[in-house]
């Protein structure tokens, strides 16, 4: 390594709820490394590991498009279960000596688990170092998934009100992917929401130390970061555009008419004597009807808005329409639109929808339920 390369370094610390011995094994055992040693959205291809001083290791990481990124190096120190040092070099990046960096991992016992501290040195510039910081953060998220008793729920935390259609859309998407997560019930503009979203909105989501806000961005991350059911259509550019179109319709027109101008009047009445403001609700009804008519035509004979499988638009439509069905005006509005009712019933029967609404069972979505008056549907 050159003197210039050694100028730039990266240090990261992660707490892992597992004994040091298990963490050390995960860092060096071939079968374990095959389960976690790549960023989210990729998969591990080949792994070899000869975890002794002078021994070599190699890892390949494969994108969903089949592009292979390989790296490898030589173990410099192996002090089980507390310390590990090894060189790191990506395939095909010029002179081997110039592109070789050094990784040092220290494992310490802490709070019944393990504190992992990594020092990665020898980067040629700050940009390369920062790229590795992003990559290692995602890789260590997968290490936590692998070792934490809660699995992915040790990393993935949804921050938002259980009754928010946006929060429920994210929860449905995670369930469709089979991703375990923790829910942190938070209303908009509370300190926990302000800490992650600059405008205090919900939902937000943590994946380990990574923070995401805005539902559309969260759904995109979930789809690309985790294996399993695709959240966006895979049948072509037209279908993907349609999914975006319907999501925008629901976000820009459906939520405004159904939630902002109808549901919230029942949850937070602004009329005289603490009653819902009928003028606001009545003005919203034609717009709700227009949204329903548009959706009804969009569904046609299908159960989903795009093709024969649900996508992000359906995950958002279902909570909105379900909530509308619980409003006093909802049944009459929906009665006119058989396609909407059929599509809603199909989504309501999906395990992902049921799991996202489990904490509302017995409380319902009805506006006269006291617990809902204490939360926000924003």
- Measured CA to CA, the distance from residue 235 to residue 223 in angstroms comes to 15
How far apart, in Å, are the Cα atoms of 108 and each of 13, 51, 139, 143, 367? 11, 19, 19, 16, 52
pLDDT digits (tens, 9 = 90+) for 330-347: 999 999 999 999 999 999
Helix (H, G, I), strand (E, B) or coil at 181: coil
State the average pLDDT over residues 177-186. 97
- Would strands 113-123 and 156-159 be described as parallel, antiparallel, or unpaired? unpaired
Q: Which two tokens stand for residue 311?
A: 């996508």
Residue 180, number of CB atoms within 10 A of its CB: 16
> DSSP assignment, residue 198?
T
Judged against a pLDDT cut of 60, whether residue 373 lies above it is answered with no
Judged against a pLDDT cut of 80, whether residue 6 lies above it is answered with no
Q: Which two tokens stand for residue 289?
A: 């009807």
State the average pLDDT over residues 31-43. 97
- Give the residue from 155, 177, 206 showing the smallest Cα distance to 315: 177
Q: Do the first three CATH levels of 5-149 and 237-373 match, i.e. the same topology?
A: no
- Measured CA to CA, the distance from residue 156 to residue 290 in angstroms comes to 37
Helix (H, G, I), strand (E, B) or coil at 217: helix
- Measured CA to CA, the distance from residue 337 to residue 219 in angstroms comes to 28
Q: What percent of the chain has pLDDT over 90?
A: 89
Helix (H, G, I), strand (E, B) or coil at 211: strand
Judged against a pLDDT cut of 60, whether residue 378 lies above it is answered with no
State the average pLDDT over residues 283-299. 98
- Measured CA to CA, the distance from residue 115 to residue 14 in angstroms comes to 6
What is the fold of 5-149?
Alpha-D-Glucose-1,6-Bisphosphate; Chain A, domain 4 (3.30.530)
Instruction: Return the domain boundaries, the chain.
Output: 5-149, 153-225, 237-373
> DSSP assignment, residue 130?
H
- Measured CA to CA, the distance from residue 284 to residue 256 in angstroms comes to 9
Whether 76 and 86 have beta carbons less than 8 Å apart is answered as yes
pTM, two decimals, is 0.91
Judged against a pLDDT cut of 60, whether residue 374 lies above it is answered with no
Whether 104 and 83 have beta carbons less than 8 Å apart is answered as yes
- Measured CA to CA, the distance from residue 279 to residue 133 in angstroms comes to 54
Judged against a pLDDT cut of 90, whether residue 66 lies above it is answered with yes
Say which CATH superfamily domain 153-225 falls into.
Glutaredoxin (3.40.30.10)
Who contacts 32 (Cβ-Cβ below 8 Å, separation ≥6)?
Answer: 25, 26, 146
> What CATH class is the domain 237-373?
mainly alpha
- Would strands 182-184 and 156-159 be described as parallel, antiparallel, or unpaired? parallel
The pLDDT of residue 119: 98
> DSSP assignment, residue 38?
S
Judged against a pLDDT cut of 60, whether residue 364 lies above it is answered with no
């Amino acid at each position: 390594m050159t003197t210039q390369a050694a100028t730039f370094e990266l240090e990261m610390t992660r707490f892992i709820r597992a004994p040091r011995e298990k963490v050390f094994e995960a860092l060096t055992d071939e079968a374990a490394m095959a389960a976690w040693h790549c960023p989210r959205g990729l998969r591990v291809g080949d792994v070899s590991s000869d975890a002794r001083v002078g021994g070599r290791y190699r890892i390949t990481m494969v994108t969903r498009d089949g592009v292979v990124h390989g790296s490898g190096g030589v173990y410099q120190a192996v002090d089980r279960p507390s310390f590990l040092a090894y060189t790191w070099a990506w395939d095909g990046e010029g002179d081997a000596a110039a592109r070789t960096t050094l990784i040092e991992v220290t494992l310490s016992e802490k709070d019944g688990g393990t504190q992992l501290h990594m020092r990665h040195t020898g980067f040629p510039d700050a940009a390369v170092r920062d790229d590795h910081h992003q990559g290692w953060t995602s890789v260590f998220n997968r290490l936590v998934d692998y070792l934490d008793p809660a699995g992915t729920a040790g990393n993935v935390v949804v921050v938002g009100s259980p009754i928010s259609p946006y929060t429920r859309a994210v929860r449905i998407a995670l369930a469709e992917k089979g991703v375990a997560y923790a829910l942190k019930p938070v209303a908009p503009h509370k300190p926990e929401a302000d800490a992650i979203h600059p405008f205090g909105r919900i939902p937000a989501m943590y994946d380990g130390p990574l923070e995401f806000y805005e539902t559309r961005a969260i759904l995109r991350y979930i789809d690309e970061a985790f294996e399993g059911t695709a959240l966006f259509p895979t049948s072509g550019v037209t279908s993907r555009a349609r999914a975006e179109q319907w999501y925008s319709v629901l976000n820009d027109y459906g939520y405004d008419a159904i939630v902002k101008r109808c549901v919230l009047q029942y949850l937070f009445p602004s009329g005289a004597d603490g009653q819902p403001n009928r003028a606001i609700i009545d003005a919203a009804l034609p717009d709700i009807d227009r949204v329903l008519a548009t959706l009804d035509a969009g569904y046609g004979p299908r159960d989903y808005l795009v093709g024969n499988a649900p996508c992000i638009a359906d995950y958002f439509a279902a909570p909105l329409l379900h909530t509308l069905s619980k409003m006093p005006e909802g049944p009459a509005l929906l009665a006119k639109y058989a396609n909407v009712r059929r599509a809603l019933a199909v989504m309501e029967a999906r395990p992902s929808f049921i799991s996202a609404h489990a904490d509302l069972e017995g409380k319902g979505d009805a506006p006269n339920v006291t617990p809902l008056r204490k939360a926000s549907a924003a």
